[in-house]
Structure 1
Amino acid sequence: MAQPLLTRGLRRWTRTPVLGRIAVIYALGRLVTTGLLALAASQSSPLSRFGAHPDLADYVVGWDGQWYWTVAVFGYPSVLPVDASGQVSENAWAFMPVYAYLANAVGFGEWGRGALLVSLVAGFGACVSLHRLLRARIGTSAALWAVAFFAFGPLAALFQVGYAESLFVLLLLVALDLVARRRYVLLYAIIPVMGFTRPGVLAFALFLGLHGIARWWRRDAEPLHGREAVHIVALGALATAVGFAWQVIAAVVTGDPGAYLKTELSWRRNWLADEAAAFVPFEGFVRGAGFWAGRWGLTEGAGWLLLALLVAAAVSLLLRSRAVRALGADMRLWSASYVLYLLAVFFPQSSTFRLLFPLTPLVGALAVPRSRTYRWGVLLVSVLLQGLWIHQMYGLAHTYWQVP
């Protein structure tokens, strides 16, 4: 009896349009995430940032969501706040405006409701865009599994809280798909919105440069027409300009040329008492490796060695992994560009896991045709890791390494 039911169910599933299957996968993922968030809330203690037994709505506007709400309601300060030592302290300039104001508009003034809706809808759009991006490379079935790994993944809670990641990843996946289809003109509209949603558009500028070089290198196999070359160069310039525009805007409004970078560096004082006076590319990860090595009882040298090994492993994965290579050159070039961007501008801490979200296309490598047992195993591990992340960042949420 069970076998015919299973057979009929599978037959009905395969006959369902792809968009419908993605919707089902995404809806089930959101039910799982809601359950995990509810479990975290039930286990929350008075020591948690959210207090004992918070409402799920508290999670939506928690952590960075509070900053986006501040932007939507109060805007950006014209005078930078400073601490007792005279250094610039944490403020709204670290958060881009698109998500904050869009959530406020969608929620008709109820920012938390709007943020939840924007994140949910953007997450579904990202799933659809991910499938569209991957299906020509790894097949429709494998692309659906990639969507499942994404929708149930370790960071899937970002689809249900007030963070800009889901909107940024939607825009990113659309942009990558446009590049893959050589529809460069539409990127003139996507890049500015992406750039004012969250940091990362400078990595896209680097990707466009590498993409242009790759197109030129393979011009015998795929001709690079003059108009396409002009678009690639112009779009790279646009992405670069947008990437630095927020620093200029912050400088003009506050009258401080270093307003944005000083604001970003202020967050490092949560970990480093003697943070650098000015931003130096790659300095954050170098110092971070030493910082975390000390917390783990290791020497600074051991921390730097671990960092070098991680970078070497990432390079090897992008260059040699057959599953990653199946995704195509553009997906590997984007991944390399974004990893290099992270190494250049961020300080490694618990939020680094969230900052890996734009590497979403690599989830396709996990779905390259393998056994059904393997795929269900990956899905189970994804849910377990999601539960662990939610438990630490929202359930416990009371120490410096429990910041999403």
Structure 2
Amino acid sequence: MSAPGPAVRRAAAPERSAGPGVRRWRVRQRWAGQRLLLRWLRLPAAARVLVVYALARLFSAFVLAEVARFQEPSAWTPQDPGYADLLVLWDATWYRSIALDGYPDAVPLGADGDPVQSELAFYPLAPLLARLLVATGLPFAWAGSLVSLVAGAAAAVGVRALLHWALAARCTAGAARRGAWSAAVLLCVSPPSVVLQVPYTEGPALALLVAFLLLLQRQRYLPAGAVALALGLTRPVAVPLSAVVVVHLLLRARAGRRRGAVLSGREALRALVLLGCSGAAGLLWPAAAWLLTGRADAYTATMGAWRSGGEVVWLRPWWDVSQHVLGAVAGPALLVVAVVAYVAWLLGRRTAVLGADLRAWCLAYVGYLLLVLDPFTSLFRYLVLLFPLGALVGLHPRRRGALGALVLASLALQVVWTAWLWRFSPPADWPP
């Protein structure tokens, strides 16, 4: 073998010039890093998720505190607001009103006799939990924030458990761990994850949704039904939830027929109870608002006060906005192409590892948003509930680079999201 050339000798020279002390220091540094990595990997998976969640929330707190320096005085904030003042912005003011004063006993009407914006549009579970803490003397800003923080932590841990359970049946053990880890991490650092520490409903809703899907996958139908009812008092997502239950039960019945195994009478009764609970969950709060006010359409009429036309119209807002932004033909055409592409991708081979239940949720939830939502800036926050898709990053061939890049991009976009949408610019601004 020939001797190394001059270029090789020049590159190796600095290493030889390092003295024994430097080399020993480098070895100790490598060993210290390896020991730290081993200690990290020996932690329970839930503990590692909680560490990431805590660091992500500290980052969000820093961003909120910095944004507070640029918040202009308004009806919601004083001259020099601090972190706590910024917690109670936007919908958090409605939740504070519910926690402190409850709901109105009649539908508030404007001068023209039409319903106006009021607390009746907001679901009760999260503010009532905060009310329990307020009763101990804790200010609402911190009480509501604590509810969201604890629920968000439970959701992050539950996401890892849910995705690990779902992927383990279809992937290797290592792939299941990686996919579950990436889903939990991306949930913690997602751009709108700031809502997991402000008095909003995303934290409790995420925790309950994860619990429901995990119980459903394990075929524990009665506890899943109870969780569905609680979720029906948190956010209006019972319609896609019912669709997931229907898909789950149909697929289980078909699988049972193929194996020649029919559901027992007791199991069939539990399935019917689950189906009934998931359907009833969507009626709980509208019915409660009816009882509170004596008006049957109290909830839907109040929700219409937030819509541009004064009423909830299915699908039409997406069509109109697409035409306004991209033109009368190109807008709707691109909207249809995007929806078809999403459905085709989610039903394709690459997402099959998620399983039928999680894919059904991701399809049904997007379909629900298309039907009932006005496509404005709050959409970014609503998409947090599509957390199962984060698992696909961990299954990417270049998973380490992909996950790291997405984490950095998410943190950067979190700064943009908070400064753009959470900061209120009077007299009116786009909501988060």
TM-score between the two structures when normalised by the length of structure 1? 0.90
The structural deviation recorded for 1:53 is: 4.3
CA distance in 2, matches of 1:222, 1:172: 32
The answer as to 2:33 corresponding to 1:6 is: yes
SS for the counterpart of 2:142 is: helix
1:85-124 aligned within 5 A: 85-107=112-134, 108-109=136-137, 110-124=139-153
2:237 to 187, 193, 200: 200
1:209-224 aligned within 5 A: 209-219=246-256, 220=258, 223=261
The structural deviation recorded for 1:248 is: 2.0
2:277 to 238, 242, 249: 238
1:387 to 387, 403, 415: 415
Cα deviation per residue 1:99-150 (whole Å; 9 max; x = unaligned)? 1110110242532221111111111100111111011314223322221111
The answer as to 2:335 corresponding to 1:307 is: yes
Cα deviation per residue 1:332-388 (whole Å; 9 max; x = unaligned)? 011112122222222221112212222222221222254322221111111112111
CA distance in 1, matches of 2:50, 2:71: 31
The answer as to 2:127 corresponding to 1:126 is: no
- Look up the match of 1:318: 346
- Look up the match of 2:182: 145
The answer as to 2:372 corresponding to 1:332 is: no
The structural deviation recorded for 1:50 is: 4.2
Q: Residues 266 and 292 from structure 1, CA distance in 2 versus in 1: closer, same or farther, beyond 3 angstroms?
A: farther
Q: Residues 234 and 155 from structure 1, CA distance in 2 versus in 1: closer, same or farther, beyond 3 angstroms?
A: same
Gaps of 5+ in 1: none
CA distance in 2, matches of 1:126, 1:224: 34
- Look up the match of 2:10: none
**4+ residue stretches of structure 1 with deviation over 6 A?**
none
The structural deviation recorded for 1:173 is: 0.2
SS for the counterpart of 1:387 is: helix
Between Structure 1 and Structure 2, how many residues are aligned? Answer: 392
Amino acid at match of 1:19: A
- Look up the match of 1:43: 70
- Look up the match of 1:289: 319
The structural deviation recorded for 1:223 is: 4.4
Q: Is the 8 A contact 2:222 2:273 kept in 1?
A: no
1:188 to 200, 205, 225: 225
CA distance in 1, matches of 2:158, 2:291: 37
How well do the aligned residues superpose, as a CA RMSD in angstroms?
2.2
The answer as to 2:259 corresponding to 1:229 is: no
TM-score between the two structures when normalised by the length of structure 2? 0.85
SS for the counterpart of 1:134 is: helix
Q: Residues 222 and 156 from structure 1, CA distance in 2 versus in 1: closer, same or farther, beyond 3 angstroms?
A: farther
CA distance in 2, matches of 1:101, 1:275: 28
SS for the counterpart of 1:350 is: coil
What percentage of residue pairs aligned between the two structures are identical? 32
The structural deviation recorded for 1:89 is: 0.4
CA distance in 2, matches of 1:48, 1:89: 19
CA distance in 2, matches of 1:71, 1:292: 35
Q: Which has the larger radius of gyration?
A: 2
1:259-270 aligned within 5 A: 259-268=298-307
Amino acid at match of 1:263: T
Q: Is the 8 A contact 2:103 2:120 kept in 1?
A: yes
Q: Is the 8 A contact 1:50 1:58 kept in 2?
A: yes
Q: Is the 8 A contact 1:68 1:100 kept in 2?
A: yes
